[in-house]
């Protein structure tokens, strides 16, 4: 999901957190620099400044002038030993004597009636300057050490403070108008915002504001962006924090931060608290290898108490976001805490188009680009995927030296996002390339021949991503219920590569490893979860998912060994039936298999329409009674006349995910 990229004014731009402390530190450095420069000037300048224009006399000349009665006045300096004064002719003189002055010299000068002064000058600045400098240096060091210690103490004392960011009504500037699609989601959240703005309308009828709203959806669907829009629309204080901000190495810090967060929100009430990735602190209690995580569970306990405990927070709404609602603690999801769960699903066709338009703003799009076709060809992509697609298209346009983004760039970007980057450095031998061509040809033939199989979009034998060849399929319409026949056809298509190698070469290779893994998992779900086995009947057992919270390590199977043996037998039966079916179909269309393999060896990449023409020509007529099978439109190629409905994607036929990214077969011939 995307938002309008409006430039921020200088007032809206956020300043770095350390802007003020760094400015103060620079001011202190400037003050100390000025003090040091002044001290140096006081010491050095008097030494380098030019002296007066007095006549310089040597000490012997001074005594001679004194004996010759030429001296009028004389001043003896006890500190420096210098002698200064005036001659009888009015000339000033200066001479160096002894320190202290010799009494005989003073007597000699006085004998002539000369005015003699003996002085001991005192320069307070030069006397006290070294001490002042040392004292200032010591005081500066003490101030610096004190500031450092105070900062460390402040950090220690504030460890229990909440790290939530408080946003005013001016920030962020994102609103619901900037969020493309998801009208239902925006309507439900806007109701909470309206309650905070106009509580009297709801209080008059006796309605109570939901204490918590949980945004649930796959990654990249825009849950955080929706929360930013709430902050822009609310007109009330909005506190944003992530789940990981509560956790620290000190025991009890998480609970303390939760208390401080809600205390701040109560002072600002009515207010909204947004906790992103709430599953990091909201996991089920006691579900772990050591009996749980005490610090996280104490943090969760405090949050449960703050949301709906003895002293509940009135006028405070908490919005949480997660893509793992299955691991959240039941106490967190009950009414009174998170009263409402809002699903933010993957965008459909009508929502992908405005999202693409949002992300294309500010980019140089060519005139011939049809964003509606791009939206039709990108089923199952989230808002983040679409943003990445547009960026990859722009990067590809730059690499090929273009100043605008064309449909070719979008096609290349989609292939890179879905199946990976093409590996030009990997060179296959002729024998390997031929085997890959027959392997991918087997997938493509069955995808075209079988009625319920998703149509072929593209076949390539160029190494892409981790695969040496790819057969890409994309469905023609959005599906929410997946019949058994469609699942069996999907299994048969995945068998096509292995069976083609067996028919042509009489042996097998490692190329079908990924196909077999996917087929085994799909067949096992047919038997265990979807009740598509006559021997098992209408019974279902949950999938053995990955170990997450430590629960599954101690979880025993809820069926017997005999049932497990029956499940394995049924899975084997389904897979062998589809393998036999694939062998029969590929033997019937052996000529078409050869044609497709030859076209791949010649062109390396062909589209679904070409596959259909080659199979029909080799078969001697249309394989399907109603004519060639429809194909998914290409961004930069021709569109078959029968492809009237928008393509969407099915990864695996499942009731849990209405649609997913496009499938590809044969992407298992990896190096």
The DSSP line for 263-325 is HHHHHH-SEEEEEETGGGT-BPTT-STTS--HHHHHHHHHHHHHHHSTT--TTEEEEEEES-G
For domain 430-544+556-665, the CATH architecture is Up-down Bundle (1.20)
pLDDT tens by residue, 333-365: 888 888 888 888 888 878 888 888 888 888 888
Tens digits of residue pLDDT in 315-329: 778 888 888 888 888
Q: Which of 72-86, 335-349, 393-407, 432-446 has the lowest mean pLDDT?
A: 72-86
Other CB atoms within 10 A of residue 331 CB:
17
pLDDT score for 98: 62
Residue given tokens 């019937």 in the structure block: 588
Question: How distant, in Å, are the alpha carbons of 203, 234, 420, 601 from that of 669?
Answer: 64, 53, 14, 16
Tell me which fold the domain 26-121 belongs to: 3.30.720
Using alpha carbons, select from 583, 592, 650 the residue that is nearest to residue 445: 592
- What confidence tier does 13 reach under pLDDT thresholds 50, 70, 90? very low
% of the chain with per-residue pLDDT over 70: 71
CA angle 615, 424, 474 (to 5 degrees): 40
Q: Which residues contact 379 (CB under 8 A, 6 or more apart)?
A: 349, 352, 474, 475, 478, 646, 647, 648, 649, 659, 661, 662
- pLDDT for the residue 561: 87
Average pLDDT over residues 286-308: 69
With contact defined as beta carbons under 8 Å apart, do 27 and 143 qualify? no
Rg over CA atoms, the chain? 43
According to CATH, what is the number of the domain 349-419? Answer: 1.10.8.60
Instruction: Residue 546: count other Cβ atoms within 10 Å of its Cβ.
Output: 6
Question: What is the three-class DSSP state of 580?
Answer: helix
Q: Quick one: pLDDT at residue 80? A: 66
Tens digits of per-residue pLDDT, 77-105?
Answer: 766 667 777 777 777 777 776 666 666 66
Cα separation of 420 and 422, whole Å?
7
Residue 89 corresponds to which tokens in the numbers above?
A: 């002719």
User: What is the DSSP code string of 373-433?
Assistant: HHHHT-TT--HHHHHHHHHHHHHHHHHTT-SSB-HHHHHHHHHHHHH--B-TT----HHHH
Q: How confident is the model at residue 646 (pLDDT cuts 50, 70, 90)?
A: very low
- Let me know if domain 165-343 sits in CATH 2.40.30.170: no
**Which of the residue ranges 39-48, 231-240, 317-326, 584-593 would you say has the lowest mean pLDDT?**
39-48
Q: Do domains 26-121 and 165-343 have the same CATH topology?
A: no
The whole-number average pLDDT for the span 178-206 is: 79
- Mean pLDDT (the chain) is 75
Q: Where along the chain do its domains lie?
A: 26-121, 165-343, 349-419, 430-544+556-665
| pLDDT average, residue stretch 179-184 | 79
Residue 166: name the closest of 311, 337, 308, 14 by CA: 14
Element (H, E) at 97: none
Q: What is the pLDDT of residue 465?
A: 76
- Is residue 156 scored above 50 in pLDDT? no
pLDDT, tens digit, 9 for 90 and up, residues 556-570? 567 788 888 999 999
- What letter does residue 646 receive in the DSSP assignment? P
Taking alpha carbons only, the member of 396, 454, 456, 403 closest to residue 421 is 396
| Confidence (pLDDT) at 44 | 61
Q: Which residues are catalytic?
A: 440
- Whole-number pLDDT of residue 522: 93
Sign of the C-alpha dihedral computed for residues 444, 446, 448 and 452 taken in this order: negative
Q: Over 60: is that where the pLDDT of 116 sits?
A: yes
Number of neighbours of residue 175 by Cβ within 10 angstroms: 15
Contact 376, 349 (CB under 8 A): yes
């Amino acid at each position: 999901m995307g938002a309008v990229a409006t430039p921020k004014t200088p007032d809206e731009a956020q300043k770095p957190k350390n802007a003020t402390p760094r400015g103060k530190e620079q001011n202190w450095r400037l003050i100390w620099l000025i003090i040091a420069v002044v001290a140096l000037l006081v010491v050095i300048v008097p030494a380098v400044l030019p002296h007066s224009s007095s006549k310089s006399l040597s000490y012997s000349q001074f005594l001679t002038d004194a004996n010759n009665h030429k001296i009028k006045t004389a001043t003896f300096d006890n500190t420096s030993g210098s002698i200064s004064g005036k001659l009888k002719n009015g000339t000033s003189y200066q001479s160096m004597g002894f320190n202290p002055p010799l009494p005989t010299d003073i007597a000699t000068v006085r004998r002539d009636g000369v005015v003699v002064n003996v002085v001991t000058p005192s320069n307070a600045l030069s006397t006290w300057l070294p001490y002042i400098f040392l004292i200032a240096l010591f005081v500066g060091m003490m101030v610096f050490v004190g500031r450092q210690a105070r900062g460390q103490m402040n950090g220690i004392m504030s460890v229990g403070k909440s790290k939530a960011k408080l946003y005013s009504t001016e920030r962020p500037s994102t609103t619901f108008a900037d969020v493309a699609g998801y009208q239902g989601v925006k309507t439900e959240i806007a109701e909470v915002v309206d309650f905070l703005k106009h509580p009297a309308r709801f209080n008059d009828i006796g309605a109570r504001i939901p204490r918590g709203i949980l945004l649930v959806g796959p990654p990249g669907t825009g849950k955080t962006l929706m929360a930013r829009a709430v902050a822009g629309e609310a007109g009330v204080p909005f506190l944003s924090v992530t789940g990981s901000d509560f956790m620290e190495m000190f025991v009890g810090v998480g609970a303390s931060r939760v208390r401080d967060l809600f205390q701040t929100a109560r002072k600002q009430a009515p207010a909204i608290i947004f906790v992103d990735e709430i599953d990091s602190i909201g996991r089920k209690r006691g579900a772990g290898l050591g009996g749980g995580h005490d610090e996280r569970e104490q943090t969760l306990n405090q949050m449960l108490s703050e949301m709906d405990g003895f002293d509940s927070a009135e006028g405070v709404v908490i919005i949480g976001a997660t893509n793992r609602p299955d691991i959240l603690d039941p106490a967190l999801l009950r009414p009174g805490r998170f009263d409402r769960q809002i699903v933010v699903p993957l965008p459909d066709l009508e929502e992908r188009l405005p999202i693409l338009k949002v992300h294309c703003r500010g980019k140089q799009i060519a005139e011939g680009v049809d964003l509606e076709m791009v939206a039709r060809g990108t089923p199952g992509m989230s808002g983040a995927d679409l943003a990445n697609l547009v960026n990859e298209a722009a990067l590809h346009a730059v690499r090929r030296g273009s100043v605008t983004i064309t449909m070719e760039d979008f096609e290349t970007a989609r292939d890179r996002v879905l199946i990976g980057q093409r590996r030009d450095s990997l060179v296959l031998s002729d024998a390997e390339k031929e085997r890959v061509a027959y392997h991918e040809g087997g997938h493509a033939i069955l995808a075209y021949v079988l009625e319920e199989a998703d149509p072929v979009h593209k076949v390539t034998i160029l190494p892409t991503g981790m695969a040496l060849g790819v057969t890409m399929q994309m469905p023609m319409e959005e599906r929410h219920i997946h019949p058994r026949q469609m699942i069996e056809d999907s299994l048969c298509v995945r068998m096509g590569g292995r069976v083609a190698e067996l028919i042509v070469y009489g042996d097998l290779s490692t190329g079908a490893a990924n196909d077999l893994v996917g087929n085994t998992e799909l067949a096992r779900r047919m038997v265990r979860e979807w009740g598509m086995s006559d021997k098992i009947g209408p019974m279902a057992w949950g999938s053995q998912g990955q170990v997450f919270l430590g629960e599954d390590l101690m979880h025993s199977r809820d069926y017997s060994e005999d049932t497990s043996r029956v499940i394995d037998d049924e899975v084997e039966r389904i897979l062998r039936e589809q393998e036999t079916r694939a062998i029969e179909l590929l033997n019937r269309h052996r000529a078409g298999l050869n044609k497709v393999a030859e076209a791949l060896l010649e062109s390396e990449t062909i589209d679904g329409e070409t596959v259909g023409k080659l199979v029909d020509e080799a078969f001697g007529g249309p394989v399907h009674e109603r004519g060639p099978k429809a194909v998914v439109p290409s961004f930069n190629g021709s569109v078959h006349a029968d492809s009237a409905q928008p393509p969407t994607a099915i990864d695996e036929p499942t009731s849990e995910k209405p649609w997913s990214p496009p499938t590809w077969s044969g992407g298992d011939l990896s190096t």
